Structure 1
């Protein structure tokens, strides 16, 4: 019998240590080490392992005929868009998201649609009883779907049950943190148990050809809880995002071996479950506050889909020694860069102002093409000058203040024209890439200084809106404030 081996395993990253310590040297987290038995039932003496001979296998060349992996459409267009066209046989997907964001609702709808299409779909819950899953199905109007339910946490029992009869086409495990296996002597939810349970389920999927979806918990930082090795083991990692106060939900692929990783699926949370949004731009712009300073429409690209979204900025005088910089839905480091370029090259002094930037609708923007729209919204808020309501903005700002071109210019312009916009502010060097402007009036700019001067000429800084002579003089002097003086 193998000697029991105890190790202290970090519950955040999976690193193992021989003795306890307060801080994990691998991930830097504190108080995350827990004692676990890492021996496992499959352990054997080294002398026995060394006598085992390996089997030979055939080697193949790079040349040869390869067929696309057969896919199983889920019946939900937005979900199929993110997965690359449907579930691949034998694939394992990991879905993560904040508590209450709608992961179980999404997967209940997906399994119900597959079951109604005649496929065997199994939903195994380790967190809820069967009666609770039925209540959710009744609320969603899916109680008549022939989905097979179970409330079980033992991986061995799950694999044994699913091996009987026809192989399921889709299996949902909700969640992987509640599963446990007899081969590991650790509590459910620990790093060792999560890794061993995931390995057993992945082996079952590859052997039988069933597609498995694992639901994963997330940490306070938004990362999927458990060892990072699980994300490397699965075929796809999907993140279900959204603000609790918003009714929009975004399904984003963080990793996908069988499809793109830059696609998103947009859903709207309603009383009857998640509703697919085929035109996200129209939904994100449905509640625009027209004519308000500090708002700009950004023409972005998410995967192959153009998406128009409103960026909202607020610049207010600060009462603190260090001004606040708060951003929601965008990279804070890019906001800091845009503010630095505005101050260094355009003369926009923001050191005495608090700056807030928000992406309306709960969408999270990742591409740098939003730099120009963010800069326009910031200057608009500072000088109280509303931007044209029929204009869209896109372009990357360099550290020198130049506006650089971005990809898929034509797709952005066509989407803006389809939604009724009349003009577009874009990089000057992007004119050659425009295959069709859709009838838009194009305002191409080469540097950020010209855009800042144009916006500043239409407004006055906050607090200087007097109608007297002093206020008029201040308003007339506004454009010069945002230009660098010639020495």
Structure 2
């Protein structure tokens, strides 16, 4: 019999080492290496590796022109924002991974598919809750369907057999960290178990044409727990985002082989479950007050959707030797860069000021087009002068203080006009004739933008 060997694996990124390391050389995390026993497989075991009972070993090669496209047809979940993020619904035989913080709504969303599509045959494999607990939550959400099956089992071989036997339209595994393969000695949730179980579920999805939805845990940094290869194996990676202090949730597609990546769906968590927010711009601007200094409105593109959000800035004299810098929903390093540009190119001294920046509504903005609105909010608070009413800002700010071109300008201006704003300050290179009543003012640098805004 071949002897087993010891291997050390990083719990964050899956990097392997023959000895224990305090610091991971791949991801830089500290004290994440754990000891695992790796079984040396015999020749017969290696030949059988990856085979699943009931699934054909392989198919002969096919010509591209001869491949039938019927297998790539979509079916809707009837949850409008969810279908939007997926790119128009589930693709038959696809493998989808959903990650997010505990309690953010991952299991709730998957249960609500049974409510929205009672005609779909769904097999829900639960490894974290009992059947009674799921029934109680389903009753609260109003889920009632003769085609919704609950299976409380964590042995991946039993899950695969039941899925092949039932042949559902949708298989839900909650969660990938709880299922295990008995042939492996490592515990459920380990790097080896997650990789093996995900590989078997991938084969099931592709060869049996069963759409598979897997829920994954996240680390304290917010990334999906387990080896990075897990995200490469699936067709779609969805990330649930949200602040525990708000009822709003955002579902973002990090990767999507069948639709646009970085698409965003917005939900509101209520007692009855997650509800679609079809006009998020109006929601994020519901408490906007243009009479207060430091408030500005920007238009950010999230996926293919333009969103109008409020930027709030507060600049006050510092009481300490080192000024405070705080950013919520905006990149802290980007804020430091914009403050440096305002000091060097605009002549505003922020070196003795505490600066606090907040994106209202709990939204996280990464769009460079938000730069101009952020700088206007900072200057407005610094001078304690409110920005003119019903003005929105678009533009990326360069290190020379110039206002640079942004993409998808037509979509942004249409959304600004729809929300009742009468004036938009945009890069000069983006100025085009518009058929609506929206007035656009082109600017080339931050100084001219400040004169127009204040």
**What interval of TM-score do these two structures reach, taking the shorter chain for normalisation?**
over 0.9
Match of 1:92 in 2: 95
Query: Residue 77 of structure 1 is aligned with which of 74, 77, 80?
Result: 80
Match of 1:380 in 2: 380
Match of 2:14 in 1: 14
Q: Which runs of 5+ in 1 are unaligned?
A: 459-487
- CA distance in 2 between counterparts of 1:46 and 1:132 reads 42
**Deviation of residue 3 (structure 1)?**
2.6
The 8 Å contact of residues 71 and 88 in structure 1, kept in 2 or not, is answered as yes
**Deviation of residue 391 (structure 1)?**
0.8
Matches within 5 A, 1:340-355: 340-355=340-355
The 8 Å contact of residues 296 and 387 in structure 1, kept in 2 or not, is answered as yes
Q: Choose 1 or 2 for highest CA Rg.
A: 1
Query: Residue 444 of structure 1 is aligned with which of 436, 439, 442?
Result: 442
**Deviation of residue 452 (structure 1)?**
2.8
Q: Which runs of 5+ in 2 are unaligned?
A: 48-56
Kindly provide the CA deviation profile for residues 208-253 of structure 1, in whole angstroms up to 9, marking residues without a partner as x: 1111111111111111111111011111110000100011110000
Greater CA drift, 74-83 or 26-35: 26-35
What is the number of residues matched between the two proteins? 444
Match of 1:135 in 2: 136
The 8 Å contact of residues 114 and 120 in structure 2, kept in 1 or not, is answered as no
Match of 1:466 in 2: none
- CA distance in 2 between counterparts of 1:230 and 1:360 reads 34
The 8 Å contact of residues 12 and 29 in structure 1, kept in 2 or not, is answered as yes
Match of 2:395 in 1: 395
The 8 Å contact of residues 346 and 448 in structure 1, kept in 2 or not, is answered as yes
Matches within 5 A, 1:16-165: 16-39=16-39, 43-45=41-43, 57-58=60-61, 60=63, 67=69, 69-114=72-117, 116=118, 118-144=119-145, 146-165=147-166
- CA distance in 2 between counterparts of 1:174 and 1:222 reads 18
* Residue 262 to residue 56, structure 1, CA distance change in 2 (3 Å): closer
Match of 1:426 in 2: 426
- CA distance in 1 between counterparts of 2:29 and 2:449 reads 45
The 8 Å contact of residues 114 and 144 in structure 2, kept in 1 or not, is answered as no
Greater CA drift, 342-351 or 403-412: 403-412
**Deviation of residue 411 (structure 1)?**
1.6
Greater CA drift, 282-291 or 341-350: 282-291
Match of 1:325 in 2: 325
Counterpart of 1:6 in 2: which secondary structure? strand
Match of 1:5 in 2: 5
TM-score (norm 1): 0.87
* Residue 66 to residue 374, structure 1, CA distance change in 2 (3 Å): farther
Name segments (4+ residues, structure 1) moved above 6 Å: 46-49, 63-66
Counterpart of 1:178 in 2: which secondary structure? coil
- CA distance in 1 between counterparts of 2:46 and 2:114 reads 45
TM-score (norm 2): 0.93
Kindly provide the CA deviation profile for residues 364-406 of structure 1, in whole angstroms up to 9, marking residues without a partner as x: 1121000000001111111111112311111111111111121
**Deviation of residue 144 (structure 1)?**
4.8
**Structure 1 position 314 matched with structure 2 position 317:** no
**Deviation of residue 60 (structure 1)?**
4.2
- CA distance in 2 between counterparts of 1:240 and 1:261 reads 14
- CA distance in 2 between counterparts of 1:176 and 1:144 reads 25
